[in-house]
Amino acid sequence: MSQKETYENPDLKKERQNCPFNKEEITNLLDGGKEKTAERKQLENYILSDEQLKDAVPMEYLSHADKYAEELRKACLLMHKLENSPAGQVPTLRALMGAGLGSAVLKEGNPLALHYVMFIPALMGQGTIDQQAKWLAKAYNLNIIGTYAQTELGHGTFLRGLETTATYDPNTQEFVLESPSLTAYKWWPGSLGKTANYAVVMAQLYTKGKCEGTHPFMVQLRDEETHEPLPGIVIGEIGPKLGMNTNDNGYLGFEKFRIPRDQLLMKHSQVLEDGTYVKPTNSKLSYATMVFVRVVVCQDVTTNLRKAVTIATRYSCVRRQSELKPGDREPQVMDYQAQQNKLLPPLAATFAFQLASDHLWNLYNTANNNIEQGDLELLPDLHGLSCALKALCSSEGANFVEVCRQSCGGHGYMACSNFPRIYGQVTAAETYEGENTVLWLQVARYLVKTRKEQTGGLSVKYLIGEEKGPKTVDTTLEGIVHLYRRTAVGLVDVAIAELEKSGRKGEAPHDAWNHAAVYLIKAAQAHARLFVVESFVNSLKVGNLSAPVRTVLSQLCELFIIYWLLERSGELFFVRQFIKKRLVTVEFQVRTLLYVKLLAAIRPQAVNLVDSFDLRDEILASPLGCWDGNVYQRLFDEAAKSPLNQSSVHESFHKYLKPLLKSNL
Ligand SMILES: CCCCCCCC/C=C\CCCCCCCC(=O)SCCNC(=O)CCNC(=O)[C@H](O)C(C)(C)COP(=O)(O)OP(=O)(O)OC[C@H]1O[C@@H](n2cnc3c(N)ncnc32)[C@H](O)[C@@H]1OP(=O)(O)O
Ligand SMILES: Cc1cc2nc3c(=O)[nH]c(=O)nc-3n(C[C@H](O)[C@H](O)[C@H](O)COP(=O)(O)OP(=O)(O)OC[C@H]3O[C@@H](n4cnc5c(N)ncnc54)[C@H](O)[C@@H]3O)c2cc1C
């Protein structure tokens, strides 16, 4: 391991002895193969050895503006380094945008992220071949830098309510962009505040006096030389946030700003010279860029969770506290069952989320290829699953990160622990790219439709036809998965019953929907959990895993699916047949026993498992999580960097405190 140093905390050393499985096998599995691991390591060496990419002082001590300048400096340097990257440009770029390598260098957020994560994908997904020819090379070469400007001060979720207008003027063959009110101002787009000079802007398209709905437009915002906003463009940054502070999220207003007709991105719908509107085959195709990001966010959140779990697990094996056996040495806090209960479920979740995200990524690629050929059949399933997994991974991920922080006691509250930053990033994903509740309701819409119409895509096939599988629940993994499936089906039926009850009372469908929201959301969540659990169980059936790796992964899988079942036990009570058969109570007694046994079985492998994530110290960026476990020395070293420690008496003592001390109040 690259970061092996002379010191190794004796407790960690012991944890690492006699590892029953080959850590590298798991590393390769997570990377997607031996070659991918080698490629990643080579890339990490290339990027992380560059002195100019290291922080002179911790970012926390810089001002808002200085943080931005510093991250922009490094982001630009990284882009230069792309050219000679040993891994090739595309894999390097992917690695640099995400929560792994990228966030090791750009801890506060990448000011160029939106260019790669949304602007270029929007051009590719929404632009015609000609438009791509005109803009893509410039974008790839960073001659222009773009963002995706959709959300407004007044509306983020309800896209049909966006207020920015783009009105076609056939006389000049231009669109006139206008922000008709304060709430119409674009608000939130990343990189918009200071970095981007172009944007894909979503606006209501008006032609021949008729509104045709939101459409994507390619808009230049700033002068390419001076970077000054163009006349008719009002631009600024929105200020400090809970996290991601150097993503320079911004605002943008248009004052009768004109763009040529061919800057409407016309892959799916067109406006002809005379103003005639040509409809897309599906009105939701203009939402495709969001679908892409929802897919990659699942992977990103998982990487962040791996970091949090690694930090907390290593720390918990170094930290000794209290007394377990009277008179004995203080135990490693990891030996408390309560601590295992905090940390082992998120550890298992990192595998569960990764496997589900891999499935989603494959579905995305297949669906996208089909869409390019004009076949939209997979679109509803892709929309349903990307919403479900984005909402699930981000919400569970954020909760797990917070539990990891708590598991580190006081030291977890330090900025240098890196938990605040990791949490800031993961919880942001609960909101951006579709607020989670809103996405759950989209999923529920798909589930209800499938159940009622008895037709739907692969991810919802279990809702079609009679329930299959055993009527009683056994204790095998298959048996538990079946319980998940019956819960998911049961909750959709409960939600439908609720909708029908309101219907019978004479409520309009939209009111009935609103009044069933609690049930609908539960059904959507149960569906997402079923998908994750099935992916985990099924992926253990295939592949050529060695026996020791299969054993530990099976334990994690079992732990995880029982953990969720116990956590969500309340939901089973909604499904009446479970209660009738007294299934619920008996099940839980058996499961709790098994869960506790699994905690004890996995405990000895916790450090070996997080080691196999192979996250370098620079990526963890936390004195609590370093490979060598030299926690206390590193915490001391971090404290020494505080500006308040640069003199023994701070100047403010003489200014404020001394007069107070002498004032005899
Ligand atoms: C290359 C490297 C990669 C590296 C990885 C890096 C990782 C990232 C890391 C760090 C970077 C940080 C990045 C931050 C970025 C953040 C960016 C943003 O936040 S951009 C703003 C997002 N905004 C939203 O997401 C709005 C949410 N709202 C909506 O999506 C819609 O308004 C919605 C879906 C809630 C309702 O839309 P309705 O009102 O038009 O539609 P209705 O009437 O409800 O549904 C109509 C039909 O359309 C379908 N539908 C809706 N959306 C669809 C879609 N997207 N695709 C397909 N069908 C869809 C529905 O299923 C429904 O179908 P039926 O009628 O039931 O058959
Ligand atoms: C870090 C970050 C980066 C972002 N980057 C970008 C970007 O690059 N480009 C961009 O365009 N946007 C961006 N956004 C904006 C983001 O996409 C929106 O904030 C998000 O879509 C939520 O919309 P909203 O803020 O309008 O919330 P709202 O919709 O106002 O949500 C407020 C509350 O209302 C509830 N609610 C809303 N509608 C419903 C409903 N139909 N049923 C039930 N409950 C409902 C929500 O659940 C929530 O509890 C970013 C946001 C963040 C936080």
* Per-residue pLDDT at 2: 46
State yes or no: pLDDT of 356 exceeds 50: yes
> Where are the alpha helices (H) located in 456-582, listed in sequence order?
477-504, 509-515, 517-541, 547-567, 569-572, 576-580
Tokens 């500006």 -> residue: 643
Query: Which two three-digit tokens encode residue 532?
Result: 């994750």
Sign of the torsion angle spanned by Cα atoms 30, 31, 37, 42: negative
Span 130-134, average pLDDT: 97
**CA nearest neighbour of 469 among 454, 492, 488, 485:** 485
pLDDT band at 74 (very low <50, low <70, confident <90, very high): very high
Counting ligand 1 atoms within 8 A of each CB, the residue from 112, 120, 246, 290 with the most, and so the one to mutate, is 290
Average pLDDT of every residue of the chain:
95
pLDDT band at 473 (very low <50, low <70, confident <90, very high): low
* Per-residue pLDDT at 489: 95
- Give the ligand 1 atom nearest the CA of 449: 66
Which of 282-286, 380-384, 649-653 is least confident?
Answer: 282-286
Query: Which two three-digit tokens encode residue 102?
Result: 């990228």
**3-class SS at 258?**
strand
List pLDDT tens digits, range 360-391: 999 999 999 999 898 999 999 999 999 999 99
User: Cα Rg for the chain, rounded, in angstroms?
Assistant: 27
Span 125-138, average pLDDT: 97
Span 196-204, average pLDDT: 98
Span 155-177, average pLDDT: 98
Integer Cα distance of 318 and 315 in angstroms: 5
Integer Cα distance of 39 and 44 in angstroms: 9
* Per-residue pLDDT at 216: 97
List pLDDT tens digits, range 482-537: 889 999 999 999 999 999 999 999 999 999 999 999 999 999 999 999 999 999 99
Which ligand is in closest contact with the Cα of 449? 1
Ligand 2 center from residue 655 Cα (angstroms) = 46
Is ligand 2 within 6 A of the CB of residue 431? yes
pTM: 0.97
Q: Is 585 exposed, middle or buried (0-12, 13-18, 19+ CB in 10 A)?
A: exposed
List pLDDT tens digits, range 313-344: 999 999 999 999 999 999 999 999 999 999 99
Which ligand is in closest contact with the Cα of 195? 2
Active site residue 402: no
pLDDT band at 168 (very low <50, low <70, confident <90, very high): very high
* Per-residue pLDDT at 446: 98
Measured in whole angstroms, the distance separating CA 563 from the mean position of its chain's CA atoms is 22
Is ligand 1 within 6 A of the CB of residue 443? no
* Closest protein CA for atom 9 of ligand 2: 189
Integer Cα distance of 86 and 82 in angstroms: 9
pLDDT band at 466 (very low <50, low <70, confident <90, very high): confident
Which residues fall within 8 angstroms of residue 130, CB to CB, at 6 or more apart? Answer: 262
State yes or no: pLDDT of 126 exceeds 90: yes
* Per-residue pLDDT at 1: 44
Ligand 1 center from residue 442 Cα (angstroms) = 9
Phi and psi at 429, nearest 5°, equal: -70, -10
Sign of the torsion angle spanned by Cα atoms 337, 339, 345, 351: negative
State yes or no: pLDDT of 459 exceeds 60: yes
* Per-residue pLDDT at 396: 98
List pLDDT tens digits, range 528-568: 999 999 999 999 998 789 999 999 999 999 999 999 988 88
CB 154 within 8 A of CB 184: yes
- Output b/e per residue, 342-352; b: 16+ Cβ within 10 A: bbbbbbbbbbb
Counting ligand 2 atoms within 8 A of each CB, the residue from 432, 436, 440, 519 with the most, and so the one to mutate, is 432
Integer Cα distance of 263 and 286 in angstroms: 15
Which of 58-72, 80-94, 226-240, 305-319 is least confident?
Answer: 80-94
Domain architecture of the chain: domains with CATH: 1-31+286-635 (1.20.140.10), 146-280 (2.40.110.10)
Which of 535-539, 587-591, 610-614 is least confident?
Answer: 587-591
Span 2-14, average pLDDT: 82
Is ligand 2 within 6 A of the CB of residue 629? no
Neighbour count for residue 322 (Cβ, 10 Å): 8
CB 164 within 8 A of CB 184: yes
What residue type is assigned to position 63 of the chain? Answer: S
The single residue of 433, 498, 571, 587 carrying the catalytic annotation is 433
pLDDT band at 479 (very low <50, low <70, confident <90, very high): confident
* Per-residue pLDDT at 544: 87
Per the DSSP assignment, residues forming a β-bridge with 318 are none
Is ligand 2 within 6 A of the CB of residue 495? no
State yes or no: pLDDT of 156 exceeds 90: yes
List pLDDT tens digits, range 600-611: 999 999 999 999
Vertex 252: Cα angle to 266 and 202 (nearest 5): 25
* Per-residue pLDDT at 606: 98
Q: How many CA atoms lie within 13 A of 22 on its CB side?
A: 8
* Closest protein CA for atom 28 of ligand 1: 157
Is ligand 2 within 6 A of the CB of residue 72? no
Span 462-488, average pLDDT: 80
pLDDT band at 584 (very low <50, low <70, confident <90, very high): low
Integer Cα distance of 43 and 1 in angstroms: 15
Ligand 2 center from residue 606 Cα (angstroms) = 37
* Per-residue pLDDT at 468: 66
Share of the chain above pLDDT 70, in %: 96
What's the longest Cα–Cα distance across the chain? 90
**3-class SS at 121?**
helix
